[in-house]
Amino acid sequence: MSSDNLSVSSMTMPITSSAQHKSFWKRYKINSGLFFVLPAVFMYLLFVAWPIISTISSSFFDWDGISIEREFIGLKNYIDLLTRDRAFRMSVTNNVLWAVISISVLTVVGFLVAYMLNQGLRLRNLYRTLIFLPTTASLVVIGFTWEFMYRTDGGIVNQILTFLGLESWIRLWLADAGVTIYAVMLVGIWSALGSWVVIYLAALQGIPQDLYDSAAVDGATGIRQMIHLAIPLTMSTTRALLILGFIGAINQFGLVYLLSRGGPYHASEVMAYQVYDLAFKTNHTGYASALSVVLLMISAVVTVIQLILLRGRAALFG
């Protein structure tokens, strides 16, 4: 082979390799932007995907979370949880109560307060600040403050009831099995109301004033504007808040831990707190993992159902 042929072949080889390299990237639609996503993907796999997989794996074992050896017991944890565990049924009931009551109150009250604050009220900026203020407080501060307010001796709640002549309403708010879950729930609603009001207020301010003026010309004023204009145009915001509110209610933990510790006798225990109690107090990590998986499945299934129903309702009402 001549020297000219060798030089030509040596020049064409890098070009051919580079072309194949480029065609490979184009064929699989790979671009350099994917490399910027890799750190986030790695963090997701490390701190989300792997813990979920590890939890599912641990749910099939009898394990205390400390020892190296684990005994495989199959579905026994799930069977015991769903058929024999009375505390689990109570925690599910409390989560359902929390979701239904808190979301209903926050949706109705949050929208009404935001609608009023969107009107030309005097000192409305002051009202907005006061309503949003609890949202800025630390959960620990809220918990200890309300724990002091709920005390039997010297608690401000019972003092107010006494001042109003409602002594029959006085309770052991954090020690009465019949009222503790509602007392804790009230704190959750109070602390979350500011966020719902601000989000609804932002949605209401996004409605053009021309629509209100047109409605007023057609004779729709006051409540009619709210029902036929404000509520339909904020429905997408309501759907988002309902989903986020339900997820928050299902995964509620902090206030229960700070105020009642799930007591008395599991009366205010929710599923997330039961997971903590089983895993870190009694060292039943395998059983707690099974409960975590059930909690995850409940959240996923109900959220999907909620999305389907809300989308169907949105399509129905246009």
Structure confidence by residue, pLDDT tens digits, 120-179: 778 878 888 889 989 889 999 999 999 999 998 878 999 999 999 988 888 899 999 999
CA distances, 168 to each of 149, 177, 180 (Å)? 18, 17, 17
Q: What would the mean pLDDT of 216-222 be, rounded to a whole number?
A: 79
Q: What is the pLDDT of residue 314?
A: 54
Nearest-angstrom CA–CA distance, 171 and 155 = 11
Nearest-angstrom CA–CA distance, 297 and 15 = 53
Query: What's the gap between Cα 280 and its chain centre?
Result: 23
Of 6-10, 82-86, 199-203, give the lowest mean pLDDT range.
6-10
Q: What would the mean pLDDT of 51-55 be, rounded to a whole number?
A: 92
- CATH code: domain 83-316 is 1.10.3720.10
DSSP-assigned beta bridge partners for residue 218: none
Q: What would the mean pLDDT of 43-52 be, rounded to a whole number?
A: 91
In terms of pLDDT, which residue wins out, 34 or 182? 182
In terms of pLDDT, which residue wins out, 125 or 285? 285
Q: What is the pLDDT of residue 211?
A: 85
Q: What is the pLDDT of residue 15?
A: 47
> What pTM does this model have?
0.81
